[in-house]
Amino acid sequence: MTVPLVSPAGVCVSVACEKVVQAVALAKHSERYADVIEIRLDSLSHPEIEPFVKNCTKPLLFTNRPAWEGGSFQGPEAARISLLLQAVQHDCTLVDLELKTAPELRGELLDALLKHTQTALIVSWHDFSGTPSSAELEEILQQQIESGAHIGKIVTTANDYKDVLRILNLQKIAAENNFPLIAFCMGSIGTISRLATIKLGGYMTYAAPDGGKKTASGQIPVSALRAMLKTLDGEA
């Protein structure tokens, strides 16, 4: 599938709050540094879509991460996907769906995208304890390529530098397949990959909002991440 966006998107600030009003305020505060704002619907006690669409000027990514993939949503899968469908109906820029989601539910989302072509689908896969072998990672990437996704996301946990190198190497394979890929490692050892991935062809990296909580281990506050990227670009 062709990505509706101009890529790479760059820096995504992930916003996770319990209250919608708090999340909207933090999202707006983050727009100074962000290329994309991720709204973690699974963190909201009463999730909504429209307040973010009305109040935010930067492209929005809506994620409703289930508990079985490290998120906070514990309800029925149909209800979880329904919120993403609402985001698509509002012509949001991106939605994130886990690779392990039932194929029929993924099909519902893909059908909706045929009518709302402004929205791109990220199909994601996470490992919160380690990093699989190169062969396993390449198989996951291949499944994402074949899934109908516009963009893939593979995020693992680094226990040593070799884990980081295996993840970053996926960008070469993704480029050979003309498939935009988000790929980096969580954890303190993996922090460097959040910077390196952008310089190695990665579609996007994720940062924590200034003054907000991290949504994953190893996330860097967005203002600090921007400063680091400027240094790498020779602008500092």
- How does residue 233 score in pLDDT terms, banded at 50, 70 and 90? confident
Class of domain 10-123+193-232: alpha beta
| 100-123: average pLDDT | 95
Among residues 46, 54, 116, 153, the one annotated as catalytic is 153
- How does residue 6 score in pLDDT terms, banded at 50, 70 and 90? very low
Structure tokens that stand for 197 in this block: 């991935």
Q: Give residue 5's pLDDT.
A: 53
Annotated catalytic residue 100: no
Q: Give residue 216's pLDDT.
A: 87
| 109-136: average pLDDT | 96
The answer, yes or no, to whether residue 173 has pLDDT greater than 50, is yes
Q: Give residue 1's pLDDT.
A: 47
Task: List, for residues 16-40, the tens digit of each pLDDT value.
Answer: 999 999 999 999 999 999 999 999 9
Give the start-to-end residue ranges of the domains of the chain. 10-123+193-232
- What is the average pLDDT score of the chain? 93
Is residue 154 left, alpha or beta, with left meaning phi > 0 and alpha meaning psi from -120 to 50?
Answer: beta
CB-side neighbour CA atoms (13 Å) of 9: 28
In the chain, which ranges are E strands?
10-15, 36-40, 60-63, 94-98, 120-126, 151-157, 181-186, 204-207
Higher pLDDT, 234 or 48: 48
Q: Are 157 and 190 in contact (CB under 8 A)?
A: yes
Sole residue written with tokens 């209250």? 19
Among residues 54, 126, 213, 214, the one annotated as catalytic is 126
Q: Give residue 212's pLDDT.
A: 83
Q: Name which of 46-50, 185-189, 217-221 the model is least confident about.
A: 217-221
SS3 215: coil
Q: Give residue 236's pLDDT.
A: 54
Annotated catalytic residue 150: no
Q: Give residue 7's pLDDT.
A: 52
Q: Give residue 17's pLDDT.
A: 96
The answer, yes or no, to whether residue 2 has pLDDT greater than 70, is no
Task: List, for residues 56-92, the tens digit of each pLDDT value.
Answer: 999 999 999 999 999 999 999 999 999 999 999 999 9
Q: Give residue 213's pLDDT.
A: 83
